[in-house]
Amino acid sequence: MRRAAAAVLPLLTAPALLTGCGASGAAPVPDGPPVDELRIGMQEYRYQLSAGTLLPGAVDVVVTNAGSSAHDVVLVQGGTTLWASDLLGPGERQTVEVEVAPGEPVLLECTVGGHSAAGMHTTLEVAEG
């Protein structure tokens, strides 16, 4: 299982590096109050988020593929995968309720080859409990 552990590390370090150097290429994350309902739009090659900060606890997530090729999204918090969506084709949608811990960012990434590197990754903040 060494491979799995190695794969998680870049997820944890990349957002910090991006923030430090101005996040060029990353999709803008909306300002605003923490929410318990999040909509994620997927396009080539970025996530469009309805909010940038989540409330801790149960969060309803709706993921819609608004692009023209297949995408997915994996939500990781503190090295733990909260949810991995199905691979969604254009126009497809999936909903889920995830349990979010307070105060720790949630990382989003597309697992389709090359998509994360092309920009399909971002970070959600989570409010303190």
Residue 112 sits in the site that holds Cu ion (CB under 5 A): yes
Tokens of 114: 């090359």
CB 61 within 8 A of CB 96: yes
108 lies in the site for Cu ion, by CB under 5 A:
no
Sole window of 1-9, 17-25, 63-71, 73-81 interacting with Cu ion (rule: CB under 5 A): 63-71
Among 59, 71, 121, 124, binds Cu ion (CB under 5 A): 71
Q: Which residues pair with 5 in a beta bridge?
A: none
3-state secondary structure of 16: helix
How many residues form the binding site for Cu ion (CB under 5 A)?
5
The stretch among 4-12, 51-59, 78-86, 108-116 that binds Cu ion (CB under 5 A) is 108-116
CA–CA distance, 90 with 67 (Å, rounded to integer): 6
- Among residues 51 and 71, whose Cβ is nearest to Cu ion? 71
Q: Taking CB under 5 A as the rule, does residue 121 contact Cu ion?
A: no
Q: At which residue do the structure tokens 């997530």 appear?
A: 61
Taking the complex as a whole, how short is the minimal distance between the CB of residue 54 and Cu ion, in angstroms? 21
Considering only CA atoms, which of 84, 71, 77, 85 is closest in space to residue 57?
77
